[in-house]
Structure formats: structure tokens, C-alpha cells
Amino acid sequence: MKKILIILALLSLIFSLNVYAQEEEKFDPEVAKVIQEGDKLLKSGNYQGALQKYNEALKSSDNYQIYYQAAVANIKLKKINEATAALKKSIEQNPDNAASYDLLGRIEFATKNYEGAIEYLTKYSEMVNKESSKKKAKEIISKSYYTMGSKAKADGKFNEAVDLLTKSVELNNYDLSYFRLAEVQYELGNYDQAIENADKALNFRKTVTKGGPYYFKGMAFKKKGDLEKAKEQFELGKKDKDYGALCQHEIDQMN
């Protein structure tokens, strides 16, 4: 259920559900009538009825825009596999339809297929001119690299983690990626890089608590032999709910 809610939330970010209405596509009058009926049902919340209309229209017109609309209806009906198949058909019929790449990439991200999300959203960001659209796509790509990098770290693949997390922050100043980079660089013994990334995690902080970056800065300074700076960082982080106890432990060891 959580996965479905995420997908529906991502769907709400799309500029329009009624894609074909923005195009000057010429449909046979009877097909156009069926599509319009499907749109009305979709907007009214009758998603099953809308899907039936779109499927009816597809019997007469193998059009990419109808496939897209069918995908939207399928998502609303929580039929994610069917939605994915419809979007791939939409792209097959028209590889230049950016909206299908966008929605497909968001679905891949929500279903934790991060490589797929990166592929489709990278393509989408290359196709659109609107900077705000590019930015939203890059934010999701960045989070995909973060998740992959975190897994690589958990698996002990530190160099791979650095590569993935670096790609994440190249696209977006994501605080969690900077923090994870600080952790990994510390584990690799790259203490200056650990300090640098911990500072960036603090500068761009939206999600991480302050204690984590302060803790790893303190540990890096400690390894560098600068105990005074290390203690300063631990003092800054000792009230943190997640890393406070670790910071206090280091302070106690120094006293």
C-alpha cells in the first residue's frame, strides 16, 4: 500500500494527466469521442470506466497518447504492472513523448527499480526545456544514486559507494548523499574528504540531523591528530538524538 501511495503522490506532480489534449493530434471523430468520454470518467474518479474507454479507443487507434492515458487510469486503479506496460507501448509508438519517460521513471523509482528510474528520467531531462522539470527529474535521479550508494556501502563496496554518491551530489545538493559520503570517506581513511562532505551535509541540511556530520567530522579530526578540533565537533553534536551518545563517549574518552 505504501508503494502505491508513493506512486500516486509522484503522479500528482505531473504537469497534466490529459496529455493528448495539449497536442494537435487528429483522431477519427468516433475515436476522439471515446477518448473524451474516457477523460471525463477519469476526472470524475471512475477509473475503471475510463480504462475501458481507452482500451476501446486503442482497438481503433494504436496511439501513444491513448496508451499514456490508459497508464494513468491503471495507476489510479493500483495496477502498476499494467501502467508500466502501457507507458512502454506509448514510448514504442512515439519515442519523442517526454511525458511517458517522466511517468515511467517515477514509477520505477517508487517501485525501487533505481537503475530504471535513472535511465528514464535522464532521458526525460534531456528532452525537456523547462528548467523546473529538469530539476525535479534530477532530484529523483540523485535520490536513486543515493539509495544505490547506501546499499553499496552496506555491502562493504566503499569505492563503488563513493562513485554512486558522487553522481548523486553532482545532480543535486542532497544532504543525505553528502553525509553518506562523509561516512564512506572516513571508513576509507580519506579524512579531509570526510570533513569536506560533512560540512556540505550541514550546509545543505534538510533531512539529516546535525549530530551525524559533527560526529564524523570529530572522528576525522581525531584520526588526523587534531584533538582540539575533534572535541569541538563532538561538543556540537552531543545533544543530537541519534549521535549524541557517541559524541559524548568520545568527549569522555578525551577528558
The pLDDT value given to residue 6: 54
Tell me the mean pLDDT in the region 47-74. Answer: 95
Query: Stretch 18-29: mean pLDDT, rounded?
Result: 57
State the chain's mean pLDDT as an integer: 91
pLDDT (tens digit, 9 = 90+) per residue, 214-234? Answer: 999 999 999 999 999 999 999
Helix (H) or strand (E) holding 186: helix 175-187
| Domains in the chain with CATH codes | 2-128 (1.25.40.10), 157-254 (1.25.40.10)
Measured CA to CA, the distance from residue 96 to residue 91 in angstroms comes to 7
Average pLDDT over residues 190-217: 98
**Which has more pLDDT, 3 or 234?**
234
What is d(CA 63, CA 82) in angstroms, rounded to the nearest whole number? 17
16, 22 contact by CB (below 8 A): yes
pLDDT at 28: 85
pTM for this entry: 0.89
Higher-confidence position of 18 and 76: 76
